[in-house]
Amino acid sequence: MNAVVAPDSLASPLPAEKNLQLRRLLEGLAPHQLYWIAASSAALAARGQAALEAKDAAPTERATVLYGSQTGNARRVAERLAKRIEATGLVVRLVRADAYQPKEWAQERYLAIVISTQGEGEPPDDARGLLDFIAGRRAPRLPSLRYGVLALGDSSYPQFCAIGRQLDARLAELGATRLQPLAEADVDVDAVAAPWLDATLERVREVLKAPAVRPPLLQAVPTSAVPEPVEHDRDRPFTAPVLANQRIVSRHSEREVLHLELSLEGSGLSYQPGDALGVWPRNSTPLVNQWLETLRWDGEQPVTHGGRTLTLARWLADERELTRLSRGFVQAHADVGGDAELARLLQDDPAALAILLDTHQPIDLLRRYPARWEPAALIAALRPLTPRLYSIASSPAAVGEEVHLTVSKVDYEAFGERHGGAASSFLADSAEDARVPVFIEPNERFRLPADDSRDVIMIGAGTGVAPFRAFVQERRETGARGRNWLFFGNRHFGDDFLYQVEWLEALRQGVLHRLDLAFSRDGADKVYVQHRLRERGEELYAWLKDGAHLYVCGDAKHMAKDVHTALLDVAVTHGGLSTDDATAWLADLLQQGRYARDVY
């Protein structure tokens, strides 16, 4: 074992003041804590020396890893690639799409792109400007660029990976050369991302001629003496105790909406208003039993897949996606059953296939088109269970080591059977003292303005109001100077006014300055938040012209699009802009970060 030399026996290179600060810091720490500090300091020193050597070598080329991400998956993969390239001794930079300048395209030589597709073939918000530029007439020829694209998507949507495909094709059209072919990843991202990362890293090493990786310059204390810090993330979630789980709509409401409070005490997790909480769900026992009954299988039967052996019931409950239908599973089911109608949908009728994917869960497919599956084959064909993201409905400045969620339970009847959502049912059934596996998913583009004198406009429908509860809490606790204006919509005032008491109290306190409401089912005509935006258009436009930040949270397919159209109308009517100028104005607000959307 390496000897540890006491600091008192060494001549300190630190100034007297720093030396005193260090002694105070170390005083009273346990041995394992001192070991950890020593190891961390050694690692920092090694990286610093490596950085100096890299600077002395004056490399003339670098690789750029560019990402466009709505929910964090593309960012996560891009970060992994950048770290691996850096570990080879190469120079790399990691850039979010909205920070990539148009002039950089012509200068770029080696570019790896990770980009997602949202909903019906839409780009992530942070990549809209980049895609508009590269698709437009001002895009330069790129004969010197070598690139690779990893497209992320969800095959339950018809326009699977459409944005990645478009970008890959456009770069080739502009004369760029592929480092490797386009790769398309479904919600089981790592199945495609891992080999793509390996191949991209190898190609980058080849073209940039990576130096041999040197061993660390400093020998840290033995790793056996340094406890591994526990870091909770997507792959190592924290099991958070449930502190409260209460219904926040009336018993007459058509939907069950719940307010959950979870404890993060001792987790080391931290978040900011605007972030999301990732929840790893478990499929409900009734749903698992429906699968077993439909297939006439024994839940205790062991099944081996991917080198793991679990009972069939465990695979279905904890490991496989049972509530979201994907094109891949439809194709696999058609192959097993040989059904002519399914084959026709897959080959010749994309519109009908889209309806099938939107209206059916996997078990509906099993019932409608029976087929003789082998258990191991079915487990292999089903997608892995993935976490769900929920906009956080609290500010840590107000609630401490807690995190709050607003959850609408998915519960409906179709084809003569009850259907539910995986995560919403899991959370709704989590009694107090239950534990929920969670992690924090940062949302850098959905942040309150750094300048707290800026006004804030918040537009949310249904549970889309959740992050704005966090925003108002934060603005109250920090004493923000700007005004706060909330537009909220739901079905019925008497049944579905989420957090009504809190909003009215915020108005009374002067923390919330404006509150406009739209309850669509309370009158003869349906009124939604976009109608209120048009009604308040003159003042809304004035706030935005004066520098207000605008936030939208809710359904991407309908609500967010309708709100965007209303904002265009407001700019035309009250700003005197043409339709093209209004479109450019909103695009500029989006690029500045003054128009942010958290849509799903």
CATH number at residue 70: 3.40.50.360
Average pLDDT over residues 461-481: 97
Judge whether residue 249 has pLDDT over 80: yes
Listed as own residue / partner, the contacts of 533-540 with beta carbons closer than 8 Å and 24 or more positions apart are: 533/459, 533/487, 533/563, 533/566, 533/567, 533/570, 534/566, 534/569, 534/570, 534/573, 537/569, 537/570, 537/573, 537/574, 538/574, 540/457, 540/570, 540/574
Residue 309 and residue 261 share a domain: no
The residues facing 457 across adjacent strands are 485, 550
Count other C-beta atoms under 10 Å from residue 110's C-beta: 22
CA 136/CA 144 separation, integer angstroms: 19
Domain annotation covers residue 289: yes
pLDDT tens digits, 302-355: 999 999 999 999 999 999 999 999 999 999 999 999 999 999 999 999 889 989
Residue 14 and residue 49 share a domain: yes
301-337: string of b/e by CB count within 10 Å (b at 16+)?
Answer: eebebeeeebebbbbbbebbbbbbbbbbbbebbbebb
The residue written with tokens 């009694």 in the block is 431
DSSP code for 234? S
Domain annotation covers residue 214: no
Residue 481 and residue 562 share a domain: yes
565-580: string of b/e by CB count within 10 Å (b at 16+)?
Answer: ebbbbbbbebbebeee
pLDDT at 43: 54
CA 316/CA 318 separation, integer angstroms: 6
Domain annotation covers residue 104: yes
pLDDT at 71: 87
Average pLDDT over residues 122-137: 93
CA 92/CA 90 separation, integer angstroms: 6
Nearest to 489 by CA among 525, 465, 514: 465
Residue 78 and residue 41 share a domain: no
pLDDT tens digits, 44-93: 555 555 444 444 444 458 899 999 998 889 999 999 999 999 998 889 99
pLDDT tens digits, 572-599: 999 999 999 999 999 999 989 999 999 9
Domain range for 189 is 59-208
Integer CA distances (angstroms), 480 to 446, 448, 471, 509, in order: 17, 10, 11, 13
pLDDT at 55: 45
Residue 347 and residue 260 share a domain: no
Average pLDDT over residues 400-421: 96
Residue 154 and residue 79 share a domain: yes
User: Is the distance from CB of 328 to CB of 186 less than 8 angstroms?
Assistant: yes
Domain annotation covers residue 65: yes
Count other C-beta atoms under 10 Å from residue 23's C-beta: 12
pLDDT at 30: 53
CATH number at residue 336: 1.20.990.10
User: Is the distance from CB of 174 to CB of 49 less than 8 angstroms?
Assistant: no
Residue 581 and residue 517 share a domain: yes
pLDDT at 21: 53
Residue 294 and residue 277 share a domain: no
CA 419/CA 533 separation, integer angstroms: 35
φ, ψ of residue 38 to 5 degrees: the values are: -65, -45
Among the residues of 275-421, which ranges form H helices? 285-295, 312-314, 327-337, 340-348, 350-359, 362-368, 375-381, 396-399
User: Is the distance from CB of 520 to CB of 489 less than 8 angstroms?
Assistant: yes
- Indicate the pTM of the whole model: 0.84
User: Is the distance from CB of 179 to CB of 110 less than 8 angstroms?
Assistant: yes
Average pLDDT over residues 405-409: 97
pLDDT at 227: 46
User: With helix as H, strand as E and coil as C, how does 496-527 read?
Assistant: HCCCHHHHHHHHHHCCCCEEEEEECCCCCCCC
pLDDT band at 557 (very low <50, low <70, confident <90, very high): confident
CATH number at residue 411: 2.40.30.10
Half-sphere exposure of 284 (CA within 13 A, CB side): 19
Q: What angle do CA 557, 558, 560 make, to 5 degrees?
A: 90
CATH number at residue 486: 3.40.50.80
CA 106/CA 145 separation, integer angstroms: 8
CA 144/CA 22 separation, integer angstroms: 51
φ, ψ of residue 255 to 5 degrees: the values are: -130, 150
CA 369/CA 340 separation, integer angstroms: 10
Residue 177 and residue 85 share a domain: yes
Domain annotation covers residue 315: yes
Residue 258 and residue 168 share a domain: no
User: Is the distance from CB of 63 to CB of 112 less than 8 angstroms?
Assistant: yes
pLDDT band at 467 (very low <50, low <70, confident <90, very high): very high
Domain annotation covers residue 346: yes
Count other C-beta atoms under 10 Å from residue 196's C-beta: 25
Angle between helices 559-575 and 579-592 (to 10 degrees): 120
CA 124/CA 111 separation, integer angstroms: 19
pLDDT band at 8 (very low <50, low <70, confident <90, very high): very low
Q: What angle do CA 110, 113, 115 make, to 5 degrees?
A: 170
pLDDT tens digits, 387-399: 999 999 999 999 9
Number of domains in the chain: 5
Domain annotation covers residue 113: yes
Last residue of a domain, one of 417, 441, 465: 441
pLDDT tens digits, 36-51: 566 556 555 555 554 4
Which percentage of the chain shows pLDDT scores above 90?
78
Average pLDDT over residues 502-507: 98
User: Is the distance from CB of 88 to CB of 72 less than 8 angstroms?
Assistant: no
Q: Which residues contact 474 (CB under 8 A, 6 or more apart)?
A: 273, 395, 397, 398, 448, 480
Domain annotation covers residue 577: yes
Residue 277 and residue 141 share a domain: no
The amino acid at 543: W
Residue 486 and residue 590 share a domain: yes
Strand positions, DSSP E, 336-476? 388-391, 402-408, 411-414, 417-420, 435-441, 456-461
Structure tokens at 376: 């191991």
Last residue of a domain, one of 39, 56, 73: 56
Q: Which residues contact 421 (CB under 8 A, 6 or more apart)?
A: 323, 409, 410, 411
pLDDT tens digits, 147-202: 999 999 988 888 899 999 999 999 999 999 999 999 999 988 988 999 999 999 99
Last residue of a domain, one of 333, 358, 381: 381
